[in-house]
Structure 1
Amino acid sequence: MLQVSHLNFKKIIRFLHLWLGLISGLVVFVLGLTGSIYAFADEIKEWIYKDRLYVEVPAGASHLPLSQLLPLAEQAMGKEHKISRGELSLEKGRTYMFRALKLNREAFGYWNYYDYYYKVYLNPYTGQVIYKENAKNEFFTVVLALHMNLLMGDRVGHFIVQWSVVCFVVLLLSGVVLWWPKKWKRKQLKKSFKVKWDAKFKRLNYDLHNVTGFYSFLILMIIALTGLMWSFELTTEKKSKVFSDTTRMVDVMPADRILDQALKASPETAYFLYNFPAAKSGTVNVSAYQSEMNLYDKVQYRFDRYSGALLQKGLEFNKQALGSRLISMNYDLHTGSVLGLTGKVLAFFAGLVAAALPLTGFLIWWKKGKK
């Protein structure tokens, strides 16, 4: 009775593994491939976009006040494109980048999803416009959109990606069950842990699916679960109950005062993300990133957009509770950057394995079907 039950269980798992794989395989292939491409996006951008990211520093020069640079960025952007964020690096010789982004989350298709998406790079020492980029056409922007919503927009594409990743998690778990050796003897273990590279195609394909799937199981599970955390908005911050004082409305935002306060509070900052409020009662949200690579190591500030007064300061990473730390680390766990360059390499190869698993799995099924 026990033997029959065991066989029935394996049969159900195999059936589930097969059909979930066939349903989600193409999407998983795209996600794995684009994830691998995007793994070293920052490093590649440093190389191919060097002319817009770096400038020569004039002797004895220092950064111009943000209040002087912002109007220049706005002029370059045009009145019809409202700046929503500034990326202000403290690295010597690095440009400031200002972004204007407007999305249509209800739209279908990549080109309809972005109403506009522009970036302006300024020399922070002279105010010169170094480059204006239509980011909607930029290669890594397209790769990221393909990874997040298959170029279909949030309403359709995000839904497909979300539930394909849920299928992928079940596939990983069921795959381990199917991989599990019947007997933990040397001959059986050799088949389960080692690819027979000199075997015929059918056996080699099976080993590539079975063995590489097992070795990458933990990394792929972390990537998949952190992706789902994002997808189901489990990492999204609660809306702040802090607002700017609209009774003190003025025409000019005290940008210099705000940035100066953030710098004094976080003097070791690598770069600031300076988010401009959309609503009249909104706050200026400044994130002080302490590392170029790790996004979790940051301090967040909220300032009154009219007076520049500090309204709220977030906890440093090492002072947060364990649950908050894990949420803060979600992106870095997803991309592997939590382990630095080593983690990114692991994420890169894990993405390739994720892309290969649907192909090798399909071939296993196809060969069995033809037989």
Structure 2
Amino acid sequence: MLQVLQLNFKKTIRFLHLWLGLISGLVVFILGLSGSIYAFADELKEWLYQDRLRVEIPAGASRLPLSKLLPIAEEAMGKERKISRGELSQAPGRTYMFRAMKLNRNAFGYWNYYEYYHKVYLNPYTGQVVYKENAKKEFFTVVLALHMNLLMGDNVGHFIVQWSVVCFVILLISGLVLWWPKNWKRKQLKKSFSIKWGAKFKRLNYDLHNVSGFYSLLILMVIALTGLMWSFELTTEKKSKVLSDTTKMAGAMPADRILDQALKASPETAYFLYNFPAAKSGTVNVSAYQSDMNLYDRVQYRFDRYSGTLLQKGLEFNKQPLGTQLISMNYDLHTGSALGLTGKVLAFLAGLVAAALPVTGFLIWWKKGKKQI
């Protein structure tokens, strides 16, 4: 009786694994491949985009005040595009980047989703416009959009990606059940844990699917679950109730004072993300990233946009509760950067395995599994 139940259970798992794989396989292939490409996006940009990221420092020069650089960036961007963020690197010889982006979240298709997305790179020592970029056409922006919503926009693409990843998590679990050795004798274990490279195509393909899937399961599970954390907005921070004092609206935004306070509070910052408020009562949100690689190691500040008064300071990463730390690390766990370069390599390889699993799985079904339907 027990043996019959086990056989029925295995048959049900195999059926579930097959159909979920057929339903989500193409999307998983795209996500795995695009994720692998994007894994080293920062490093590739450093190599490919030196013309816009680096400048020579004039002898004896220091960075110009932000209040002098902003009008230059705004003029270069054009009146029809409002700057929403500045990326202000504190490394010597690095440009400041300002971006203007407007999304239509209800639109279908990549080109409709981004109404515009432009970046302006400035030499912070001279104020010279180094480069103007239509980021909508930039390669890594397209790859990221492919990874996040299949170039279809949020309403359709995000939905497909979200539930395909749910299917992928179930596939990983059901795959482990199907992989599990019938017994733990040496011959069976060798078959389960090693790829027979000299075998014929059918056996080699089977081993590539099962063995590579097993070895990458833990990494793929972390990547999938952290992706779902985003997808279901479980990492979204609650909107702060702190607001700017609109009775002090007269005068320009005290950008220099705000940046100076943030720099004094976080003197070891690698770069600042300076977010400009859209609403009149909105605050200037400044994130001080302590590392170029890890996004979790940051301190967040909120300033009154009119007076420059510090309204709120977030906790440093090492002072946050464990649960908050895990949420803060979600992106770094997803990309592997939480473990530095080694983690990125693992994420890159895992992405390739994820892309290969639907292909090898489809070939197993095509050669043998069709008769099971």
**Could you say which TM-score interval applies, normalised by the shorter chain?**
over 0.9
SS of the residue corresponding to residue 234 of structure 2 reads: coil
Rounded Cα–Cα distance in structure 2 between residues aligned with 1:333 and 1:251:
43
Within 5 Å, give how 1:112-151 maps onto structure 2. Answer: 112-151=112-151
Structure 2 equivalent of residue 184 of structure 1: 184
Rounded Cα–Cα distance in structure 2 between residues aligned with 1:100 and 1:250:
24
Rounded Cα–Cα distance in structure 2 between residues aligned with 1:48 and 1:201:
39
Structure 2 equivalent of residue 204 of structure 1: 204
2:279 is matched by which residue type in structure 1? A
Q: In the superposition, relative to structure 1, how do residues 311 and 370 fare at CA in structure 2: closer, same or farther (>3 Å)?
A: closer
Deviation of 1:163 (Å): 0.2
1:149-180 CA distances to partner (integer Å, 9 max, x unpaired)? 00000000000000000000000000000000
Deviation of 1:369 (Å): 4.5
Deviation of 1:370 (Å): 6.3
Structure 1 equivalent of residue 169 of structure 2: 169
Give the alignment's TM-score, normalised by structure 1. 0.99
SS of the residue corresponding to residue 133 of structure 2 reads: strand
2:27 is matched by which residue type in structure 1? V
Aligned pair 1:295/2:295, yes or no? yes
Deviation of 1:250 (Å): 2.1
SS of the residue corresponding to residue 368 of structure 2 reads: helix
Structure 2 equivalent of residue 23 of structure 1: 23
Aligned pair 1:75/2:40, yes or no? no
Structure 2 equivalent of residue 277 of structure 1: 277
**RMSD over aligned Cα atoms:** 0.6
SS of the residue corresponding to residue 244 of structure 2 reads: coil
Rounded Cα–Cα distance in structure 2 between residues aligned with 1:233 and 1:161:
14
Aligned pair 1:46/2:41, yes or no? no
Rounded Cα–Cα distance in structure 2 between residues aligned with 1:311 and 1:163:
40
Structure 2 equivalent of residue 327 of structure 1: 327
Rounded Cα–Cα distance in structure 1 between residues aligned with 2:133 and 2:222:
34
Pairs aligned (count):
371
Rounded Cα–Cα distance in structure 1 between residues aligned with 2:316 and 2:346:
28
Deviation of 1:251 (Å): 3.7
Aligned pair 1:89/2:92, yes or no? no
Rounded Cα–Cα distance in structure 2 between residues aligned with 1:153 and 1:301:
31
2:333 is matched by which residue type in structure 1? L
SS of the residue corresponding to residue 9 of structure 1 reads: helix
Rounded Cα–Cα distance in structure 1 between residues aligned with 2:153 and 2:223:
22
1:142 is matched by which residue type in structure 2? V
SS of the residue corresponding to residue 55 of structure 1 reads: coil
Rounded Cα–Cα distance in structure 1 between residues aligned with 2:272 and 2:51:
21
SS of the residue corresponding to residue 97 of structure 2 reads: strand
Rounded Cα–Cα distance in structure 2 between residues aligned with 1:273 and 1:176:
42
- The alignment-based identity, stated in percent, is 87
Structure 1 equivalent of residue 61 of structure 2: 61
Structure 1 equivalent of residue 101 of structure 2: 101
Rounded Cα–Cα distance in structure 2 between residues aligned with 1:198 and 1:42:
38
Rounded Cα–Cα distance in structure 2 between residues aligned with 1:24 and 1:323:
31
Structure 1 equivalent of residue 153 of structure 2: 153
The worse-fitting range, judged by mean Cα deviation, of 292-301 and 244-253 is: 244-253
Within 5 Å, give how 1:294-313 maps onto structure 2. Answer: 294-313=294-313
SS of the residue corresponding to residue 183 of structure 2 reads: coil
2:296 is matched by which residue type in structure 1? Y
1:188-231 CA distances to partner (integer Å, 9 max, x unpaired)? 00000000000000000000000000000000000000000000
Rounded Cα–Cα distance in structure 2 between residues aligned with 1:168 and 1:62:
51
SS of the residue corresponding to residue 99 of structure 2 reads: strand
Rounded Cα–Cα distance in structure 2 between residues aligned with 1:324 and 1:369:
45
Structure 2 equivalent of residue 215 of structure 1: 215
Rounded Cα–Cα distance in structure 2 between residues aligned with 1:325 and 1:365:
42
2:40 is matched by which residue type in structure 1? F
SS of the residue corresponding to residue 26 of structure 2 reads: helix
Rounded Cα–Cα distance in structure 1 between residues aligned with 2:77 and 2:369:
58
Rounded Cα–Cα distance in structure 1 between residues aligned with 2:368 and 2:205:
13
Structure 2 equivalent of residue 5 of structure 1: 5
5+ residue gaps in structure 1? none
1:210 is matched by which residue type in structure 2? N
Rounded Cα–Cα distance in structure 2 between residues aligned with 1:369 and 1:176:
18
Give the alignment's TM-score, normalised by structure 2. 0.99
1:31-67 CA distances to partner (integer Å, 9 max, x unpaired)? 0000000000000000010010000001111100000
Rounded Cα–Cα distance in structure 2 between residues aligned with 1:278 and 1:174:
47
